[in-house]
Structure 1
Amino acid sequence: MDVTSDSPWASIGLDWFEGQLLEHLVGSPPADVVSVAQAAGVSTQEAERTLQRLEEASLVIRIAGRPARWTVSPPRSSLGGLLARRRTELARTEELAERLYAAYEAVSAPRTAHLVEVLQKGEETAARYAQLLRSSNAEVLHLAKPPYVTADRASSPAPEVAAGVRLRSVYETEGFTDAVSLETASRGTADGGELRLASHLPTKLVVFDRTSALLPVRPDRPTAGSLVVHSFALVAALAALFERVWDQAVPAFLGAGHDRPVPAGGAPTPRPDERTREVLRLMATGMKDDAIARALGISRRTVQKHVSDAGTALGAKTRFQIGLLAAERGWLGRRS
């Protein structure tokens, strides 16, 4: 029996010709096999075989006589019975699939648990993150983008990086305006961490000592769960992704700071003070004045004054020109 998905009868196990013959009999009076064959344009033998298959499925009835005649069973009851049998078969198949999956999981889960952990609840993710952070002794690499998960800070104090651990973070510019990201970034830089901004990040990610990595199951839904990756090859690939993003991101320095040198061959003198350069760096990432003000802990008017002073010094009339000329003169250079 050639059952194809193109036939509307395929779902109940009939091929295209069987379905067509059944539809013909529904609208016709009882007929012998010769008449059925002529109407269908097939041989008497093929019509006979098809009618017998339909009879086995209780879809047609043979009326005794010479010659015997064929008619359909009441479609609602005959097809309903066939559909019920199909549902029963599908239910048994589903049960079999569940048993097979349970057996597969019982064998595979212990085999893969050392490669990837699945954390299904937010509190599990928070606890595992804190544990991995505390156990890090060399470096932590962090990509941060919204939406962020807020936690009860009274019951869950913010975890800290151990002394001597190098922390490098890249925040997505669009989300770097809320209290959670600003406070987290400020705390990290206050402990000696390095911060950069990028207009777009591919995913949220934390890499611990290049031996473990934490990332969400669904980047757009933090509550959907997280993965802790231990596979050396996967962690190495995720660390390489971080380094690529880090190299293309723009350095940012929060709060008041001392003058920082730029790379050799960078900005010619005279150059603006460090605060103006901080403002220009953040502006170059696409941040608006209000966001820059919040990030640096200054007023919006002060931000605009720094931008205006830079424009005057550069002879630029637009923010775009200011950013372009500041970059050309090395004012946006990274720390050495």
Structure 2
Amino acid sequence: MSKEVIVSIFYIILSACIIYPPVEFVSAGFTIPCVFSRVLGSEDEDFVSYHIKRVIVTLGVYSVLPLGYIIALFASEYFQDVSSLIIDGSLFWRIFFTTSLALPILALYQIRKWIIDDFKYHPIAINLSKFCNNNNRDWKRVASDISTEFRRIDKICVRTNSLIKVIATENWILKVTPFTILIAHQSDASLIVQKADTHQISLETTNETQYLNIAVKSGRQNVESFIIRINATDFKDLEDRIARDITIPPNVKFHKTVVEQFVDVFKETIKSNPRYENREELDQCIGCMQATPNIKLQKLCGDDSGRSDSCMTCYCKPMWCVNCMAKWFASRQESDQQNTWLSSKCTCPMCRSKFCILDVSFLDNVDVEE
């Protein structure tokens, strides 16, 4: 195999890894955002400004990749000099060389258009300007609101692949792509699960993973609809963060995780337990900080053996919703013994008193159908 072929194969693989970085490149920090981190700044400090600069740098890097290939061929002495490429080279190489020079020039021209007038014509700024109210085209106010919400800890970030991630904040749904950010405001957005497809992880196992395609459609004029593709295991987190219901058509069926299945069984089982009469003022559930506490631990099982693993009386006031308590219960069990979870015991997240599923009661003012 000639040196030129080896150079070509190596450069094609390198370019592919730069454009679509594999896990190994991401782990090693060999991605455009990591390499140019000093130029881009911090995503947490100024989310919108960071991605505006990231898009500019990404376009610049992509545009010089063909020219880099020509330089690599010169380094391998495939071409002696530029004249040998232009005069003695074939029509293909002449066109390729011309294109490799034109792409960075066109990229610089495009970047200049984006930069003038304080990034007003940048694709991210254009998308943000569509959410300005009262004909106010100051997109920076919208950018400031998004950046502020991104700094909060209650946001949801789901990386769908090495290039795209989905972010849900208190009011915004964002899809970050290499060259823009697609945006929807939760107040006027509708989310519909369009498709669920299942893939087998390995030929040697029966383990499967499922992905959901969710269409995000904005009610605002000229706001582009977009598709977010997430793992089914991330659906619950996204659903909890979105203020609006996500529509699931009857023809779309997707798997629940083991924990989600257990939560359903947990809630159904404790419906038959005696209720707890609550007279205390309740705050938000300290697990999710969204729902109102609706369960109380009280010793009802009659386990009076006095052993170290016996159920105990819990004196904590209601502080947890049933979903969070069920997830806590599942997290304390052996993952490979799922058939014993319901008959097992757990400790109170606060006082560490042992309890079983018979000791979990809905509050008397809670609808058990929820």
TM-score class normalised by the smaller sequence: under 0.3
The structure whose Rg is larger is: 1
Q: Which has the higher contact order (CA 8 A, sep 6+)?
A: 1
Q: TM-score, normalised by structure 2?
A: 0.25
Q: TM-score, normalised by structure 1?
A: 0.27
Higher share of residues assigned helix: 1
